[in-house]
Structure 1
Amino acid sequence: MTSTAEKVRQLAPHWAVMFIVMFVALAGVERLAGEVGLAASLVIVFVIAVAYPVAVRALGVAPPVWRR
C-alpha cells in the first residue's frame, strides 16, 4: 500500500499540469467565444479533469497510483 505522502508526491506534478491545462483552456474558450458562464466553465473543467488521467495513461507517463 502506498502512503498518502507518496501518493501526493507522485500526483503533484500531474495536478499542476492539469490546472495549467484548465486555465489555458478556459482562457482560450473565453478568447474565442467571449465570456462563458459558470456552468460552461464547470463543464470544461470536468471534461479536462476526466480526460487528463486517461490521456496520461494512454501516453504511458501515468504515475503508479493511476495505473490501476
Structure 2
Amino acid sequence: MASNWRDLLPHYVAMFLFYVVGIVLAYGLTGESNFWISIGIAAVVALGYPPLARRLGIAPGSWSR
C-alpha cells in the first residue's frame, strides 16, 4: 500500500498544479471566480490527466487498463 502511494503522489501533485493553473488562467481570461468554472476545470483535469499520462508512458501501474 505504501509503495502505491509513492507511485501516485507525484501524479496527484501534478493534477493539483494543473487545476491551480487552470483556475488562474480562467480568472485571468474572465476576470471572475466562478464555482461552475472551477468544477469544470476539476472535471477536465480529473478525466484528462490519467489518459494523457498513459499515452505519455508515465502512468503508474495501478492506472493501467
TM-score by length of 2: 0.91
Aligned-residue CA RMSD (Å): 1.0
SS of 2:58 mapped into structure 1: coil
Match of residue 8 from structure 2: 11
Whose relative contact order is higher, 1 or 2, with alpha carbons under 8 Å and at least 6 apart?
A: 1
- Corresponding residue pairs, total: 65
**Identity between Structure 1 and Structure 2 (%):** 37
TM-score by length of 1: 0.87
Provide runs of 4+ in structure 1 moved above 4 Å: none
Q: Take 2:58 and 2:4, find their aligned partners in 1: how far apart are those partners? A: 15
SS of 2:33 mapped into structure 1: coil
Match of residue 60 from structure 2: 63
Q: Take 2:3 and 2:56, find their aligned partners in 1: how far apart are those partners? A: 22
Which consecutive residues of structure 1, in runs of 5 or more, have no partner in the other structure?
Answer: none
